[in-house]
Chains A and B, each alone.
Chain A
């Protein structure tokens, strides 16, 4: 474990992503604790530009953009993380069972997976979000998670199938482990880094999906997220009136968050996948 950490911190890309992500995370977690303002409270004039009083100005209803940005980033991270955990869990479960069991179980599970890979997930997301009237941030994370798992399932199945042929698996099988025990103790530990990378991808995908849905007007209720901020900017024409402070900050926050996650992912890929290292 320690060796892996040392290796990880030798990758420049991982360090850049990690530091950036920590920065964003602390902004989102500590910010709301230090800043007592309410993101929904009207505190100033409409679209007033950044000033001493409002670092990032106010939005179409005179609400403080900087406060919104803190709470919004927090919500987006929460949704992304929930979606990531759920999608990764479902994907790993289905993929490892399919890969380990093989035969008819594999055929059926992978059949379902392939059908859901082919159907564009945004369509299912839109339909689900319309059907669910009480969309809290957690519910949104859940919804995004249960539509995003197929890619992870497919990748984990491939890994499991190749791991299955190793010798330690045969030895463990002789000792009489059940299939579930085999998967938990003999297969999954060997793909830990792989699963973690899949989680990071899903995390970032979850944040993006939240933003897409929110911008279409299907965001979480009574909560501000980065996507909701952008939705407001579109709806109230902040872009065309030139109120850049209302939409540039969430754009930067969103892009930086996904960039930091992808940079970490790519750095880990470099470390765990020696063939990509050249030098």
Chain B
């Protein structure tokens, strides 16, 4: 393989497949460590809920078959892998006979629609703010930095709760939750879109403000670091115009921030899931919240699997973009420095 970029790509693909494999295995093994037979537990729970006995038997046999609990562990594991490849994620306990795949399929667009724009725009705005305040210095810098420090340390869901209470419950500017008004049917009409945007603003805002703060701090630090470096002094002594130097600085400081984007996708996930359940937003987070409350193991596993897949995919795309943008990193990764 002559082309170093292809090699870089291949290396990344292998790493990500490995990571995915580990994640999937954990997803398989950990819920099976729960003491006792989860199927019996759940069926007993339903029995106390007054479900008829022939329904119970049918439930029991469905889940025993699905989990394959009567077979040895390695057979269960291969069954599990095969099912994942076929996107067969099993049947939900609480919404029997609803398929986990369908439930997640319905929730996923909401989550992606909320999180991807929030993370991306937070990242862009945060970097601009960070670079600008590092360059400006003085009053602007200290105010911007303090605000960033404050916002980046408020957990997403805390800001979400405060916003929900103040702007929705107290002052009634925004709806108190959900992805759209109760009783409307999701269609592609202007009225529905306007309604959905009205519900979108608060969850979006509570995520983006925190993201801006976090990214701005990182970018400011990188920019200060670059601003005091030798090449900047040299360029200044050569009499190169300020605007040009800033462009150099921004470019160099920006590179590590691209990794910051990948990290953001992974670390924001947890907080974002809770933000969704604060607003009862119809995404994966709210689904997970109810699934945990109901001990719906197939649904929980489906959610964790889809979250892992989403984060790994996002990280992979960012890393590929990174290799594309910075030839230096590509060389280091390949040990050709």
Give the interface size bracket for B toward A: 35 or more
Closest B residue to A235 using CB positions? B293
Q: Find out whether the CB atom of B224 lies under 8 angstroms from the CB atom of A130.
A: no
Size of the A side of the interface (Cβ < 8 Å), in residues, is 47
Closest B residue to A259 using CB positions? B153
Closest A residue to B146 using CB positions? A13
Which residues of B (116-136) have their CB < 8 Å from a CB of A?
Answer: none
**B147-175 to A contact mask, C-beta < 8 Å, 1/0:** 00110111101100110110001100000
**B224-244 to A contact mask, C-beta < 8 Å, 1/0:** 110010000000000000000
Given A118-B315, A240-B176: A266 and B149 within 8 A (CB)? yes
Bound-complex Cα distance A67 to B273 (A):
29
Given A122-B273, A122-B307: A258 and B155 within 8 A (CB)? yes
Given A127-B30, A216-B292: A242 and B169 within 8 A (CB)? yes
Q: Find out whether the CB atom of A130 lies under 8 angstroms from the CB atom of B31.
A: yes
Q: Find out whether the CB atom of B15 lies under 8 angstroms from the CB atom of A114.
A: yes
Among listed B21-29, B50-58, B179-187, B245-253, interface-contacting one: B21-29
Q: Find out whether the CB atom of A215 lies under 8 angstroms from the CB atom of B308.
A: no
Q: Find out whether the CB atom of B19 lies under 8 angstroms from the CB atom of A119.
A: yes
A123 surroundings in chain B (CB, below 8 A): 23, 26-27, 304, 307-308, 311
B19 surroundings in chain A (CB, below 8 A): 114-115, 118-119
Bound-complex Cα distance A125 to B23 (A):
12
Bound-complex Cα distance A235 to B286 (A):
12
Given A114-B15, A124-B26, A127-B31: A275 and B225 within 8 A (CB)? yes
B217 surroundings in chain A (CB, below 8 A): 266
Interface presence of B212 (CB below 8 A): no
A114 surroundings in chain B (CB, below 8 A): 15, 19
Interface presence of A139 (CB below 8 A): no
Q: Find out whether the CB atom of A131 lies under 8 angstroms from the CB atom of B31.
A: yes
Q: Which listed residue (B31, B137, B271) contacts A212, Cβ 8 A?
A: B271
Which residues of A (78-112) have their CB < 8 Å from a CB of B?
Answer: none
Bound-complex Cα distance A127 to B305 (A):
10
Given A123-B304, A262-B149, A276-B221: A240 and B177 within 8 A (CB)? yes
CB distance from A154 to the nearest CB of B (A): 11
Interface presence of A42 (CB below 8 A): no
Given A127-B31, A242-B165, A244-B165: A276 and B157 within 8 A (CB)? no
Q: Find out whether the CB atom of A212 lies under 8 angstroms from the CB atom of B157.
A: yes
Bound-complex Cα distance A109 to B154 (A):
33
Bound-complex Cα distance A275 to B222 (A):
11
CB distance from A115 to the nearest CB of B (A): 5
Interface presence of B64 (CB below 8 A): no
Closest B residue to A256 using CB positions? B153
Q: Find out whether the CB atom of B312 lies under 8 angstroms from the CB atom of A118.
A: yes
Which residues of B (286-324) have their CB < 8 Å from a CB of A?
Answer: 288-289, 292-293, 297, 300, 304, 307-308, 311-312, 315
CB distance from B227 to the nearest CB of A (A): 8
Bound-complex Cα distance A123 to B267 (A):
11
Interface presence of B18 (CB below 8 A): yes
Interface presence of B109 (CB below 8 A): no
Interface presence of B256 (CB below 8 A): no
Given A118-B16, A120-B269, A120-B308: A216 and B30 within 8 A (CB)? no
B16 surroundings in chain A (CB, below 8 A): 118
Residue of A126, A217, A240, A278 with most chain B CB atoms under a 10 A cut-off? A126
A-B contact count (CB 8 A): 145
CB distance from B206 to the nearest CB of A (A): 12
CB distance from A219 to the nearest CB of B (A): 11
Interface presence of B33 (CB below 8 A): yes
Interface presence of A251 (CB below 8 A): yes
Q: Find out whether the CB atom of B277 lies under 8 angstroms from the CB atom of A120.
A: no
Q: Find out whether the CB atom of B165 lies under 8 angstroms from the CB atom of A247.
A: yes
Interface presence of B100 (CB below 8 A): no
Q: Find out whether the CB atom of B153 lies under 8 angstroms from the CB atom of A255.
A: yes
Q: Find out whether the CB atom of B30 lies under 8 angstroms from the CB atom of A248.
A: no
CB distance from A178 to the nearest CB of B (A): 29
Residue of A209, A218, A239, A255 with most chain B CB atoms under a 10 A cut-off? A239
Bound-complex Cα distance A84 to B271 (A):
19
Interface presence of A156 (CB below 8 A): no
Q: Find out whether the CB atom of B155 lies under 8 angstroms from the CB atom of A127.
A: no
**A113-151 to B contact mask, C-beta < 8 Å, 1/0:** 011101111111111101101000000000000000000
Contacts beyond the supplied A126-B304, A128-B30: 9 A-B pairs with Cβ under 8 Å: A118-B16, A118-B19, A118-B315, A130-B292, A209-B270, A212-B157, A215-B274, A259-B150, A266-B149
20 of the cross-chain contacts (CB-CB < 8 Å) are A118-B15, A119-B311, A120-B308, A122-B273, A122-B307, A123-B23, A123-B304, A126-B300, A133-B35, A211-B157, A215-B274, A234-B278, A239-B161, A239-B278, A240-B164, A240-B177, A242-B170, A262-B149, A263-B149, A275-B225
User: CB within 8 Å of B: which residues of A?
Assistant: 114-116, 118-128, 130-131, 133, 204, 208-209, 211-212, 215-218, 230, 233-235, 239-240, 242, 244, 247-248, 251, 254-255, 258-259, 262-263, 266, 275-276, 278
User: CB within 8 Å of A: which residues of B?
Assistant: 15-16, 18-19, 22-23, 26-27, 30-31, 33-35, 137, 149-150, 152-155, 157-158, 161-162, 164-165, 169-170, 176-177, 217, 221, 224-225, 228, 266-267, 269-271, 273-274, 277-278, 288-289, 292-293, 297, 300, 304, 307-308, 311-312, 315
Task: Identify the 7 closest CB pairs spanning chains A and B, nearest first.
Answer: A122-B270, A127-B30, A131-B33, A118-B19, A259-B153, A217-B292, A251-B158
